[in-house]
Chains A and B, each alone.
Chain A
Amino acid sequence: MLTFKKTTLALALAGATLATTAQAAEVEVLHWWTSGGEARAANVLKELMEAEGYGWQDFAVAGGGGETAMTVLKSRAMSGNPPSAAQIKGPEIQEWGELGLLGDLNEVAEAEGWDELLPEVVADIMRYDGQYVAVPVNVHRVNWLWANPAVLEAAGVEMPTTLDEMFAAGEAIREAGYVPLAHGGQSWQDATVFESVLLGGQGSEFYQQALVELDPEALGGEQMIAALEDFKRTRELMDDGMSGRDWNIATAMVIEGTAGMQLMGDWAKGEFTAAGLTAGEDYLCAAAPGTEDAFTFNIDSLAMFRVTDEGEHDAQQALARLVLEPTFQEAFNLAKGSIPARPDLDMSEFDSCAQQSLADFQRTADEGGLVPSMAHGMAVRADVQGAIFDVVTNYFNDANMPAEEAAQRMVRAAQAAAF
């Protein structure tokens, strides 16, 4: 019995080891581009890789805006077996860099002239200790307002450009019998609305102080209290069924005309496009009320892990080069709703919203107003972000918590990274 048991185990071990031995010149890519449009777009990258003779091992893990994928990544890193490339973004790239796990992309960056090609703010995020360790895939704008023109017309309102206008429009839309603001009750969606409202009411300078630099005076001050109060008011524009609703279901409410507006990043455009709607006609896009001179960015990127295998290393460099290839940039960003990470591309294929996004990106980069999105992990480290999420979402859902108290909690949350 005992020997039988051991043999089975040994056989199982042997079989599995054989099965996972990777061939040379392959990349295993951990990502969470799992939905139809995204996956098809990412497939373009896979085909480009295969056309150059490299293998692509797809390791997709969906769920929670990459939370599950990050768990898997940590587990893989702990076991000393990280994938060749993983979808990591923002300050987290720095943390993986500090652990010494990332390989550099300097060869390809030099050959392709990334320093000139990429906007400075994008390039900065991709570098750890002066070396390129990741390649940007796209630039999302988070501070968008989406609307259904038919609903606006029925309510007799225009696309709002200030917060006050938005609240007024919301009232009118409700009276006309629609849900004013489509929303899903998940903490990251709450935070997305919060940062857009804060930006709209208090401006990008305050945003920078409070949500990027975590200045305690800004976090606990009058402006924060005002922003929190505005934020709470948006709740009155939402419906009861929002609990746990996915953001794309909320977008569907705007598409179907049961809701008037939605505050959401430009990935929402993928939904409108998939429903066969045209920007400017069937649906409207505008900077979130009060934020036309600001741009909260959210940049997806692929970071490369340090590998010893020569062939895998070459494959990584090729992958990094191909990610910035115009074919992929165009295909991927058309599907995702974002704008290309390199601003030199021809934008004629893109719709008016994307064109406006690119123009605003360049304008805010020059004139100020380009800020990282807190809600999407671009501004602060994960622990601080999580603590802020807790405050935001709890305040939003608690009818009895005064804004002053929430502001004080915000100050404490920013100190969450005590060690």
Chain B
Amino acid sequence: MRDTLPMKNTAATPLGPGTKRSAPSGSLQAWLPRLVLAPSVAISLFFVYGFMLWTFVLSLTSSRMLPSYNFVGFGQYARLMANERWWVASTNLMIFGVLFVLICLVIGAFLAILLDQKIRQEGALRTIYLYPMALSFIVTGVVWKWLLNPQLGIQAMVQSWGFESFRFDWIVDPDMAIYTLVIAAVWQASGFVMALFLAGLRGIDDSIVKAAQLDGASLPRIYWRVVMPCLRPVVFSAVMILAHIAIKSFDLVVALTGGGPGYATDLPATFMYAHAFTRAQIGLGSASAMLMLGGVLAILIPYLYSELRSRKHG
């Protein structure tokens, strides 16, 4: 949106007055950007696309403990479709992903707006909101397990304050356990979203808001009608970052619930890992990985489409 200048021509047609002076290196200069990008492109092609292709090939084989090349067509996909646990994992990702992204956005935007009201100690508060992003669940997993455990954590604490009937035992309830994952994941990422929104708010021109205030609009109304529309790109970036966190969520499940109770909190990433590595079913694991990647594409293609389109229309 911001590169409205006609940059595109300079590299393609190096015919300015200065070109003569640098004539000997002119063609090199034209190729240099491509040369600089070449290693990264090669890396992407090999390590991302090559590996995906490899995974796809494996998903067509009967590979067990280590890869083998005994092809069985789409048999692994058929087994996957018939596997109840896979459906639990996929449904969980939908529930988890949607709730996680939405709650993070709401809390992030809310906290950013509050923090933007000339708050004393803003720096300290911001750091407190942001720090969970610095920690992995390898580090905080044990504490979260304690906090969510009905006999050790929050339930026990509130009960000891005298509220005997207080219940918070989601983690042992197969129907509710997935929501404990949402709580912990929101704890980790919402501060980061807050930072994104705060950055966006700081980038908005004051005069727009002042003008709206002069018109007598109320503060909530100003935020909803004037400020939020300006933050659309922020929302977009945030959704992308959150979506990739949701899809990659793995440590979270392993640390908090281990996929339990039963396999009620399994996610595709943990499903894939369990089958490919623990259960010696690399074929089936690869098939699930391919479906996961398909899901990623479904999110990414609209993003890239709008990215590229907005460039063109500048």
A383-B62 Cα distance, complex, nearest whole Å: 12
B260 on interface, CB distance cutoff 8 Å: yes
B66 touches A70 (CB 8 A): no
Specify which chain A residues have a CB less than 8 angstroms from the CB of B258 in the assembled complex: 186-187, 244
Give the CA-CA distance A395 to B79 in the complex, in Å.
21
- Asked if B49 lies at the interface with its beta carbon under 8 angstroms from chain A, I say no
Residues from chain B with a CB closer than 8 A to the CB of A398 are 174, 262
Count A-B contacts at CB 8 Å. 106
Chain B: minimal CB distance from A25 (Å):
29
Mask of B53-94 contacts with A, CB within 8 angstroms, 1/0: 000000000101111001010010001000001000000000
A4 within 8 A of B: no
Question: Which of chain B's residues have a CB closer than 8 A to the CB of A416?
Answer: 281
Given contacts A240-B151, A383-B281, A419-B62, contact A390 B263 (CB under 8 A): yes
Residue in B145, B169, B258 with the greatest tally of chain A CB atoms within 10 Å: B258
Tell me if A385 counts as interface (CB < 8 A to partner B): yes
Say whether chain B's binding surface is mostly helix, strand, loop, or mixed.
Answer: loop
CB contact between A396 and one of B79, B149, B262, B279 (< 8 Å): that residue = B262
- Cβ contact within 8 Å between B172 and A419: no
The tally of residues in A whose CB lies under 8 Å from a CB in B reads 38
B242 at the interface (CB under 8 A from A): no
B126 on the A face (CB < 8 A)? no
Q: Which residues of B contact A77 (CB under 8 A)?
A: 66
Do the beta carbons of A95 and B65 come within 8 Å of each other? yes
In Å, the complex CA distance between A298 and B135 comes to 37
Q: How far is the CA of A50 from the CA of B66 in the complex (A)?
A: 34
Q: Which residues of B contact A185 (CB under 8 A)?
A: 172, 260-261
Task: List B contacts of A171 (CB < 8 A).
Answer: none
B263 touches A243 (CB 8 A): no
Known: A99-B66, A242-B172. A386 touches B260 (CB 8 A): no
Q: Which of B140-184 contact A (CB under 8 A)?
A: 145, 148-152, 169, 171-172, 174, 177
Most buried by B among A185, A243, A381, A395: A243
Scan residues 105-125 of chain A and give those whose CB is less than 8 A from a CB of chain B.
Answer: none
A240 to B261 CA separation, bound complex (whole angstroms): 12
Partner of B261, one of A385, A397, A419: A397
Q: Is B264 an interface residue (CB 8 A)?
A: yes
For B212, what are the chain A residues with a Cβ–Cβ distance below 8 Å? none
Q: Does B119 contact A (CB under 8 A)?
A: no
A393 close to B277 (CB less than 8 A)? no
**A382-B279, A397-B264 are contacts. A243–B257 as well, Cβ < 8 Å?**
yes
> Within 8 Å CB of A382, what residues of B?
65, 278-281
Fill in one digit per residue for A378-419: 1 if any B CB lies within 8 Å of its CB, else 0.
000111011100100111111000000000000000001011
B66's partner among A78, A245, A381 (CB-CB below 8 A) is A78
The interface on chain B, measured as residues whose beta carbon lies within 8 A of the other chain's beta carbons, has a size of: 40
Q: Is the CB of A74 within 8 A of B65?
A: yes
Is A36 an interface position by the 8 A CB rule? no
**Residue A209, interface by CB 8 Å:** no
A241 touches B150 (CB 8 A): yes
Of A70, A95, A416, A419, chain B has the most CB atoms within 10 Å of the CB of: A419
B150 touches A397 (CB 8 A): no
Q: How long is the Cα–Cα vector from A407 to B258 in the complex, in angstroms? A: 24
Proximity bits, A67-97, B CB within 8 Å = 1, else 0? 1001100100110000000000000100110
Is the CB of B283 closer than 8 A to any CB of chain A?
Answer: yes
- Give CA–CA (A187, B263) in the complex, Å: 9
Q: Establish whether residues B64 and A95, one from each chain, have CB atoms under 8 Å apart when the complex forms.
A: yes
- Tell me whether B36 is interfacial, beta carbon within 8 Å: yes
B65 near A96: Cβ-Cβ < 8 Å: yes
Partner of B169, one of A2, A99, A240: A240
B150 touches A240 (CB 8 A): yes
Q: In the complex, what's the smallest C-beta–C-beta distance from B276 to chain A, in angstroms?
A: 9
Interface 1/0 per residue, B269-294 and A, CB below 8 Å: 00001110111110100000000000
Return chain B residues, CB-CB under 8 Å to A239: 151
Q: Which residues of B contact A241 (CB under 8 A)?
A: 149-152, 172
Instruction: Jot down 13 A-B pairs with beta carbons below 8 A, ordered by A.
Output: A2-B36, A92-B65, A95-B64, A185-B172, A185-B260, A185-B261, A244-B145, A244-B257, A244-B260, A382-B280, A383-B275, A395-B262, A419-B62
A243-B171, A244-B260, A394-B262 known, 16 other contacts, Cβ within 8 Å: A74-B277, A78-B67, A241-B172, A242-B172, A243-B148, A243-B172, A381-B280, A383-B64, A383-B275, A383-B281, A386-B274, A386-B278, A386-B279, A387-B279, A397-B264, A419-B62
Interface on A for B, CB 8 Å cutoff? 2, 64, 67, 70-71, 74, 77-78, 92, 95-96, 99, 185-187, 239-245, 381-383, 385-387, 390, 393-398, 416, 418-419
